[in-house]
Amino acid sequence: MVGSPLALPLLLLLRMQMPDHVLVTASAPLDSQRLADALRSYLDEFGIRVDAAAAGSPADLRKQLAEERRLGEAVRAVAVVRAERVTPGTIEIEIMDLATEKALVATVPRPARDEDLYRSLALKIQAILRSTLSEGRDQMKPGSGVDRFVSEGRAAVGSPPGVPSTNPQVATGAGAGETGTSTRERRPPRLALETGYLVLAFPVGGPAFQGLAATGIVRAGRRFDLTLGSGVLSSVRAQGGGVDAVATIVPIFASARIHLERKRAEILFGPSAQAAFVSVSPSSANLAVQSTRNLILAVGGEAEGRLAFWEAAWLFARGQALAVLAGERYDVLGMPIFDTSRFEITATIGVGVGFR
């Protein structure tokens, strides 16, 4: 036990000489080792060690950040990086900065070529690390790897070709990975519901209905969605030839749309189709009449404009123009009172809410 008095000083000396450390994890199909190798090419010259670790099972953001914090503290890393695919065309980067007690999340589009993927992610990660670590520079040991990394990176770092600059969202405060919250960049919600005031009209000699409509939306990709909706509409009354008739309609809409986005505004357009159940109930003091039911089939197109007023909510205005493939004209003694056989238009205004 002669060497035991030297054990504590030796351990302290070794710890002081340990290089600054960054830990990298990635969820399949991304490879954490390949990402660590790519990031090492940017950090190695500053003496910052980069290691790969197995990623934990997917969880909500708060649990993932807490797990990253645990991994980083276990190996005394200055930061832990996690990369995962959000959608087929999007990669999300999560960074737990243990030096400044911050959690950062950034979403970037996936490069078109596989050979650019890890280089692009590594360049984006080192740019974010340089930005966040610079805020805690007064706590860094002068001349350390992180200090030199921050010092030599004061010039702005651009993004690689095909990867636009992305501003990460930050959660600050001690324990951000465990008790704080981190706001993700605005991403298209996978599910959404739109509801509003609907006008459905047959402008060529037909009735016009009004009421409330609801539409469910499923995101089928970064710029595509599928919709299915219906409405509860008031009845329409018409008279002719001594007959008083009341028409009701229950429409079912479906569409496939393309999204074009610019900041808070969005335009959607694409083909649409409708099946509508129509019921006409006539009454007359002089003629024998009977109720009739009919199915309308129509196809055409629709366009919608949106304006976001919150991260996952928006105002919208939507219009449809449809050619009727199957419909009926309702006559009394040769006089048309309802005509649903030719052309149909709808207009809806309301509010939409997205669900992650």
Are residue 240 and residue 295 in the same domain, yes or no? yes
Spatial CB neighbours of 27, under 8 Å, sequence gap ≥ 6: 55, 58, 82, 83, 84, 85
Do 117 and 163 contact (CB within 8 A), yes or no? no
**What pLDDT is recorded for position 318?**
97
Are residue 82 and residue 224 in the same domain, yes or no? no
Are residue 94 and residue 195 in the same domain, yes or no? no
Are residue 238 and residue 200 in the same domain, yes or no? yes
Longest dimension (CA), the chain: 121
Q: Which residue has the tokens 């335009």?
A: 267
Total domains present in the chain = 2
Are residue 161 and residue 198 in the same domain, yes or no? no
Assess if residue 220 is contained within a domain: yes
CATH of the domain at 251: 2.40.160.20
Q: What are the two backbone dihedrals, phi and then psi, of residue 256, each rounded to the nearest 5 degrees?
A: -130, 130
Do 206 and 339 contact (CB within 8 A), yes or no? yes
Are residue 271 and residue 140 in the same domain, yes or no? no
User: Regarding beta strands 79-87 and 329-332, do their DSSP bridges make them parallel or antiparallel, or are they unpaired?
Assistant: unpaired
CA atoms lying within 13 Å on the CB side of residue 125: 34
**What pLDDT is recorded for position 139?**
63
**What pLDDT is recorded for position 275?**
96
Residues 248, 228: Cα–Cα separation, whole Å: 20
Are residue 167 and residue 206 in the same domain, yes or no? no
Enter the tokens of residue 94. 């999560």
Task: Choose among 148, 149, 184: nearest CA to 166.
Answer: 184
**What pLDDT is recorded for position 187?**
59
Assess if residue 183 is contained within a domain: no
For the beta carbon of residue 277, count every other beta carbon within 10 angstroms: 13
Are residue 245 and residue 349 in the same domain, yes or no? yes
- Preceding amide of 164 cis, omega within 30: no
**What pLDDT is recorded for position 138?**
64
User: Regarding beta strands 49-52 and 21-26, do their DSSP bridges make them parallel or antiparallel, or are they unpaired?
Assistant: parallel
Are residue 107 and residue 224 in the same domain, yes or no? no
Residues 338, 240: Cα–Cα separation, whole Å: 10
Are residue 38 and residue 74 in the same domain, yes or no? yes
**What pLDDT is recorded for position 234?**
93
312 exposure class (CB count in 10 Å sphere: 0-12, 13-18, 19+): middle
Are residue 151 and residue 254 in the same domain, yes or no? no
Enter the tokens of residue 2. 């002669």
Are residue 299 and residue 162 in the same domain, yes or no? no
Q: What is the pTM of this model?
A: 0.50
Assess if residue 9 is contained within a domain: no
Domain that holds residue 201: 191-355
Residues 315, 348: Cα–Cα separation, whole Å: 11
Residues 99, 79: Cα–Cα separation, whole Å: 7
- Beta-bridge mates of residue 192: 217, 354
**What pLDDT is recorded for position 191?**
92
Assess if residue 1 is contained within a domain: no
CATH of the domain at 153: 3.40.50
> What one-character-per-residue DSSP string does 45-59 give?
GGT-EEEE-------
Assess if residue 308 is contained within a domain: yes
Assess if residue 45 is contained within a domain: yes
Assess if residue 117 is contained within a domain: yes
**Residue 134 CA: distances (Å) to CA of 24, 57, 125, 140, 185:** 20, 31, 14, 9, 22
**What pLDDT is recorded for position 350?**
96
Do 59 and 48 contact (CB within 8 A), yes or no? no
3 state SS of 30: coil
Mean pLDDT of successive 10-residue stretches along the chain, which has 356 residues: 45 46 85 88 84 74 75 80 82 84 84 81 87 72 74 50 44 40 54 95 88 94 91 89 86 95 90 94 79 92 93 92 90 78 94 88
Assess if residue 179 is contained within a domain: no
